[in-house]
Structure 1
Amino acid sequence: MNGKLAPFLILSAAILWGTTGTAQTFAPESAHPVAIGAARLAVGGVFLMILVFLTGGLSLKNWPLRATFLAALSMALFQPLFFTAVTITGVAIGTVVAIGSAPVLSGFLEWLFLKRRPSRIWWSSTFLSILGCLMLFLNKDSVVVDPIGVFMALGAGLSFAVYAIVSRDLVGKFPSLSIVAVVFTLSAVFLAPFLLVFEMAWIADVRGWSIVLYLGVMTTGVAYFLFGKGLTYVSSSTAVTLALAEPLTAAIFGVFLLGENLNATSWIGMFLLMLGIGLLIGASRGNETKGTGSSARLSFKG
């Protein structure tokens, strides 16, 4: 695959993630968001495993168990942390803190563990994107800043950043499809208890299983496969910043499918988000080729 297409693979993943909120609005009212998240991972894991076996099977020889466990745990933690944050402190604050903190935390982790300093273009792009995200969401009449909710959202952002940086290491050594299949299957096992805690009768409804099927196959299986494929060619910090296209997509879907109204501040925020992402795509296509950062990888043997 041409490395110049990598940013667009990650953007495609982010666009699919951005449809998650809209899709969940069509789920039965009795469906708890955390239960939907757990079911989503279960379906996604099964779907990816089927694809792996259809394309030649899975070889576990010399498989990095420690790194896989860390990636799976990070993704499993992201689900309840994010949904709890949104429940406690609201969609606006929860989304901005979780999604906005992930790129910064990812850049910090790369700097700390990989000794790779983020470029000026990355800082500029990330600043514009996060500012755009803030303007897009923080214009609601009722904004409640709850310390516990903010802490949960930061935990969600850190979980996604860790997943990205560990996955960046894994996809350089194993096929991206095999990586996401194993990681999400294990994540689904971690979240399986939630399927017993929450009432799950809603999944027998046509709307229930169709929404879970869409979320599992498209926003989990396909999206994270594209994200993993893109990670082969770009750094984790760049990938996480590009993933800020998710709230942009969610806002656009909200306007055109759910009839939501955006004020001038939100439209300016959308423009800044697109500008930041555009800058990063230009820099990525010009500077990042296959193998970038291959000499500076985390070591997760075992």
Structure 2
Amino acid sequence: MKDKWAPFFILLAAVLWGTTGTSQALAPEEAHPIAIGAARLAAGGLFLLCIVLLSGKLNYKNWPIKTTILASVCMALYQPLFFTAVTITGVAIGTVTAIGSAPILSGFLEWIYLKKRPGTMWWCSTLLSILGCLMLFVNKESVYIDPVGILMALGAGLSFAGYTLVSRDLVERYSSLSVVAVVFTLSAIWLSPFLFVFDMSWITSVRGVSVSLHLGIMATGIAYFLFAKGLVHVSSSTAVTLALAEPLTAALLGVFLLGESLNITSWLGIFLLLLGIGVLIGSPKSSGSEKELGMVQK
């Protein structure tokens, strides 16, 4: 029965990720986005490490060092690449390029390294979801395309796709809790220099502490633990497509909590996102063995 719930674990993780934008909007004004990302990984990594140590589930025997380092580097790179892309080329284009490219890049990586290509249902779901994401964000601001920003956004999408692919190999051999605890602790170490580069005085305020704890515990620790549990039974390409529920959640929170308004095009984008995700979940290939995952042997 656990494999039946795997897609929903990933969707719940994406919903928690979707609260990131709202949390940043509520953070102190002097908090730099990259500093928030570094604090997020630091809090998340420490939280996960404490949980796994207290539970006594950390098994470090025969741990694959190279794979673990690769996963942690991918996650660490995602934060500055994404925030830099958004800063350079704007929220709309930066978000669409990063989040929209991740599923395609994930499917490409699976095809290249695992010799398996996603099936027809995955392509239909992914294209619907990416189109919905594009329609949701493109009307939020004037479109400004910067080549460097686009390159950074693609790098962020590749980083997330790479993290997902590598993590799936880890969670097949070790507990999900151990994997995310080790990977995110290392990711936090890689990004720790940013904590000294940017002004971190904001983190001592009530709002700063609240935002940091929410991002670290809920939007990172718990979210990526759920994502890792889902990866045990779901292919990396399917998982990344399901993760497109993140911008959907962010948009709805913006409407109901921040007072933002969406036009008809954006609401149509939300509908297409829901349709794409629904197609993937409704398909019998959305969970189970790799043969059932919509994966075709090359």
For residues 287 and 86 of structure 1, the distance between their equivalents in structure 2, rounded to whole angstroms, comes to 31
CA shift, 1:50, in A, is: 1.1
What does 1:166-177 correspond to in 2, within 5 Å? 166-177=166-177
The answer as to whether partners of 2:286 and 2:292 remain within 8 angstroms in 1 is: no
Give the residue type in structure 1 aligned to 2:14: A
The answer as to whether partners of 2:85 and 2:150 remain within 8 angstroms in 1 is: yes
CA shift, 1:140, in A, is: 3.3
CA shift, 1:70, in A, is: 0.3
Is 2:294 aligned against 1:267? no
The answer as to whether partners of 1:134 and 1:269 remain within 8 angstroms in 2 is: yes
CA shift, 1:293, in A, is: 8.8
Distance 1:112 1:226, change over 3 A: same
CA shift, 1:55, in A, is: 1.5
Is 2:197 aligned against 1:197? yes
Partner of 2:104: 104
Partner of 2:183: 183
CA shift, 1:139, in A, is: 1.3
Is 2:247 aligned against 1:236? no
What SS is found at the alignment partner of 1:117?
strand
Partner of 1:300: none
Partner of 1:299: none
Deviations 1:157-179 (CA, angstroms, capped at 9, x unpaired)? 00000000000111000001000
Give the residue type in structure 2 aligned to 1:288: S
The answer as to whether partners of 1:97 and 1:157 remain within 8 angstroms in 2 is: yes
For residues 293 and 156 of structure 1, the distance between their equivalents in structure 2, rounded to whole angstroms, comes to 29
CA shift, 1:190, in A, is: 0.1
Which range moved further: 46-55 or 87-96?
46-55
What does 1:211-222 correspond to in 2, within 5 Å? 211-222=211-222
Distance 1:256 1:114, change over 3 A: same
Partner of 1:83: 83
Which range moved further: 145-154 or 46-55?
46-55
The answer as to whether partners of 1:235 and 1:293 remain within 8 angstroms in 2 is: no
TM norm structure 1: 0.95
For residues 287 and 12 of structure 1, the distance between their equivalents in structure 2, rounded to whole angstroms, comes to 15
The answer as to whether partners of 1:18 and 1:245 remain within 8 angstroms in 2 is: yes
Distance 1:287 1:45, change over 3 A: closer
Give the residue type in structure 1 aligned to 2:81: L
Q: Which runs of 5+ in 2 are unaligned?
A: none
What SS is found at the alignment partner of 1:234?
coil
The answer as to whether partners of 1:44 and 1:216 remain within 8 angstroms in 2 is: yes
What SS is found at the alignment partner of 1:25?
helix
Is 2:43 aligned against 1:35? no
Deviations 1:53-101 (CA, angstroms, capped at 9, x unpaired)? 1212412100010000000000000000000000000000000000000
Which range moved further: 172-181 or 56-65?
56-65
TM norm structure 2: 0.96
Give the residue type in structure 2 aligned to 1:196: F
Q: Which runs of 5+ in 1 are unaligned?
A: 297-302
Partner of 1:145: 145
What SS is found at the alignment partner of 2:118?
coil
For residues 15 and 195 of structure 1, the distance between their equivalents in structure 2, rounded to whole angstroms, comes to 27
The answer as to whether partners of 2:89 and 2:150 remain within 8 angstroms in 1 is: yes
The answer as to whether partners of 1:235 and 1:292 remain within 8 angstroms in 2 is: no
Give the residue type in structure 1 aligned to 2:288: T
CA shift, 1:142, in A, is: 1.3
Partner of 2:132: 132
For residues 279 and 18 of structure 2, the distance between their equivalents in structure 1, rounded to whole angstroms, comes to 20
Distance 1:83 1:120, change over 3 A: same
Q: CA RMSD in A?
A: 1.4
For residues 7 and 286 of structure 2, the distance between their equivalents in structure 1, rounded to whole angstroms, comes to 12
Distance 1:261 1:287, change over 3 A: closer
% identical equivalent positions: 69
The count of corresponding residues between Structure 1 and Structure 2 is: 294
Give the residue type in structure 2 aligned to 1:116: K
Deviations 1:170-203 (CA, angstroms, capped at 9, x unpaired)? 1000001000000000000000000000000111
The answer as to whether partners of 2:14 and 2:243 remain within 8 angstroms in 1 is: yes
What does 1:245-264 correspond to in 2, within 5 Å? 245-264=245-264
Give the residue type in structure 1 aligned to 2:10: I
CA shift, 1:287, in A, is: 5.7
CA shift, 1:289, in A, is: 1.3
CA shift, 1:117, in A, is: 1.2
